[in-house]
Chains A and B, each alone.
Chain A
Amino acid sequence: MTLSLPVVDAFLLSFGVVFLAELGDKSQLMALAFASRYRAMTVLLAVTIATLIVHAGSVLLGSMFALVLPTSAIQVTAGLAFFGFAAWTLRGDTLGEADEGRATRTGRWALVTIGTAFFLAEFGDKTMLATVTLAATEEPIGTCSARRRAWSRVMRSPLRSDR
């Protein structure tokens, strides 16, 4: 199977953008909190599933914008959005009370507990908005695929050092 250039371009660009956006993000803080309480593989599996669901939806939403809005308007809006992401990155993220409560909750079904908490934390998060923006301007398959890989890459080293 050969990949077309737009897919590879979108993959590489999305990987880089989401990798940077994920550093110090709320969802990363939550995953670190979970990794100190549960097995690393359980956390990794739960957040991968939750991330896949949230960001497949984000890519779908971005692709719909790309279908109904003119390209130039999307590019200008996306550019402004990235200025916002820059400010958001400089401000930094912290876990709110609700997020902390979810991160310290124990459940019999660790996978479900972590997955649900992470799913809720990802909603409206910087990386979700960045994914919507990227999907509106780039090829959707490459964006979705890179999104998941970037997240796993960011999370793997802290999870391993915790164990």
Chain B
Amino acid sequence: MGTRLSERAIALFAAGTFVVFGALLIAEGLGLV
């Protein structure tokens, strides 16, 4: 249970980081930042 939770937490953290990074890249590409 604990292992599954931590795996999920890592996946959520990684996915969140990718979303933020992707959003920054798109904003930069569109000249917004």
CB nearest to A70 among chain B residues: B29
A83 interface residue per 8 A CB criterion? yes
Complex CA–CA separation, A21 to B25 (angstroms): 17
* Chain A residues packing against B (C-beta within 8 Å): 16-17, 20-21, 23-24, 71-76, 78-83, 85-87, 89-90, 92, 137
Contact of A83 among B22, B27, B30 (CB under 8 A): B22
Question: A21, A74, A79, A85: which contacts B24 (Cβ < 8 A)?
Answer: A79
Pick the most buried of B10, B19, B21: most chain A CB atoms within 10 A of its CB: B21
Q: Mark B1-33, 1 if CB is under 8 A from A, else 0.
A: 000000100111111111101111111111100
> Do residues B31 and A72 form an inter-chain contact, with CB atoms below 8 A?
yes
- B18 near A92: Cβ-Cβ < 8 Å: no
Contact B15 A75, beta carbon cutoff 8 Å: no
Contact of B22 among A24, A71, A81, A92 (CB under 8 A): A81
Complex contact A72–B22 (CB within 8 A):
no
Asked if B19 and A20 sit within 8 Å, CB to CB, the answer is no
Interface residue SS majority, chain B: helix
Q: B10, A23: Cβ atoms under 8 Å?
A: yes
Establish whether residues A86 and B16, one from each chain, have CB atoms under 8 Å apart when the complex forms. yes
Q: How far is the CA of A106 from the CA of B32 in the complex (A)?
A: 54
Given contacts A17-B21, A79-B21, A86-B19, 15 further A-B contacts (CB under 8 A): A20-B13, A20-B17, A23-B14, A24-B7, A24-B10, A72-B30, A72-B31, A75-B29, A79-B27, A85-B18, A86-B14, A86-B22, A87-B15, A89-B14, A90-B11
- Name B18's contact: one of A71, A74, A75, A83 (CB within 8 Å): A83
B11–A92 touching, CB < 8 Å: yes
Contact A79 B14 (CB under 8 A): no
Q: Which 5 A-B pairs have the closest CB atoms?
A: A75-B29, A82-B22, A79-B26, A79-B25, A76-B29
